[in-house]
């Protein structure tokens, strides 16, 4: 089971986030709650939710009922809620049943714009001790730079759609140069799982194509947040410590993005 973590900038220094988390989109109601509990039982310690997912209550209840005190929760501000940041911070804190949000992101650039004024409100929430780490989702490198130039604070994380077929070396390196941790959502939708190079590598290691995709993320230092409500798939997706991809295999998978 994956136990690797990566540090992200936080109010009190650094916040260690697991390199394999669970995307929770669609996990709602009692069925969603049960899926979240199974994920926690399988060892997941990073859950990714958002105001838009309408399941912060289920996520908060699952974590509270688990009795675990080491689970990191990410939530996100909808772009249409720009201008009401503190109200929705309060709402997320209440629904998630926590005193401090671990990681709060701007879900999409509001109106396609970087919006430093919105970013300033997340930074203010962090300074007030309501949030440990703040970041964005679906932002370009230029938009990250705009936020930094306007506020002096660079997002700790940028969550984007990511996978081998979307690999962009310059984009990844640009985040590293800025000290921004890249986090990838929809890792399986972003890459055809029947691609011969992927299935060949999976056979060589005796694992699934999905496990190869997650291991590829981990070895690039990119947080992967695959989504599944099935306990068996949840466990398999997280079980990526028992093998390593060679430099040649990593390069071959990177090539799917060309």
Catalytic center residues: 53
DSSP per position, 49-74: --GGGT-HHHHHHHHHHHT-S--EEE
pLDDT at 12: 84
> What is the arrangement of strands in the sheet containing 131-137, beginning at the earlier edge strand?
22-23, 46-48, 72-77, 101-106, 131-137, 157-161, 181-185, 223-225
Q: Helices 231-238 & 209-220, crossing angle to 10 degrees?
A: 40
Is 241's pLDDT higher than 90?
Answer: yes
- Rounded CA gap, 161 and 86, in Å? 27
Residues of the chain with pLDDT > 70, as a percent, come to: 99
In this structure, are strands 223-225 and 72-77 parallel, antiparallel, or unpaired?
Answer: unpaired
Tokens of 239: 């079980």
- Rounded CA gap, 134 and 117, in Å? 14
Is 87's pLDDT higher than 90?
Answer: yes
Q: What is the pLDDT of residues 14-60, one digit of tens each?
A: 999 999 999 999 999 999 999 999 999 999 999 999 999 999 999 99
Q: What is the pLDDT of residues 94-149, one digit of tens each?
A: 999 999 999 999 999 999 999 999 999 999 999 999 999 999 999 999 999 999 99
Q: What are phi and psi of 137, to 5 degrees?
A: -140, 140
Average pLDDT in the 59-87 region?
97
In this structure, are strands 223-225 and 5-10 parallel, antiparallel, or unpaired?
Answer: unpaired
**b/e burial code for range 10-30 (CB count within 10 A of at least 16 → b):** bbeeebebbbbbbbbbebbee
When the pLDDT of each residue in the chain is averaged and rounded to a whole number, the result is 96
Is 258's pLDDT higher than 80?
Answer: no
CA distances from 192 to 45, 160, 196, 254 (A): 27, 18, 9, 13
Is 1's pLDDT higher than 70?
Answer: no
Task: Name the band, by pLDDT with cuts 50, 70 and 90, for residue 257.
Answer: confident
Is 3's pLDDT higher than 80?
Answer: no
Task: Name the band, by pLDDT with cuts 50, 70 and 90, for residue 71.
Answer: very high
Is 174's pLDDT higher than 90?
Answer: yes
Task: Name the band, by pLDDT with cuts 50, 70 and 90, for residue 209.
Answer: very high
Average pLDDT in the 234-251 region?
96
């Amino acid at each position: 089971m994956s136990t690797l973590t990566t540090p992200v900038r936080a109010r009190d220094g650094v916040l260690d986030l697991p390199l394999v988390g669970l995307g929770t989109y669609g996990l709602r109601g009692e069925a969603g709650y049960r899926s979240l509990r199974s994920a926690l039982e399988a060892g997941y310690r990073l859950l990714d939710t958002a105001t838009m997912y309408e399941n912060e209550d289920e996520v908060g209840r699952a974590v509270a009922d688990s009795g675990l005190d080491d689970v990191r929760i990410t939530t996100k501000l909808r772009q249409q809620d720009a201008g009401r940041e503190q109200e929705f911070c309060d709402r997320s804190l209440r629904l998630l049943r926590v005193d401090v949000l671990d990681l709060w992101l701007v879900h999409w650039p509001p109106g396609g714009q970087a919006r430093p004024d919105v970013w300033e409100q997340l930074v203010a929430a962090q300074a007030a001790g309501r949030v440990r780490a703040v970041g964005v989702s679906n932002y370009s490198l230029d938009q990250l730079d705009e936020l930094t130039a306007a506020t002096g604070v660079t997002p700790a994380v940028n969550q984007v759609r990511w996978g081998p077929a979307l690999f962009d070396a310059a984009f990844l390196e640009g985040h590293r140069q800025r000290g921004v941790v890249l986090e990838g959502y929809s890792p399986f939708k972003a890459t055809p799982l029947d691609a011969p190079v992927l299935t060949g590598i999976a056979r060589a290691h005796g694992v699934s194509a999905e496990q190869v995709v997650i291991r590829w993320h981990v070895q690039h230092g990119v947080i992967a947040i695959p989504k599944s409500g099935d306990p068996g798939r949840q466990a398999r997706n997280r079980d990526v410590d028992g093998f390593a991809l060679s430099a040649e295999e990593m390069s071959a998978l990177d090539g799917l993005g060309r």
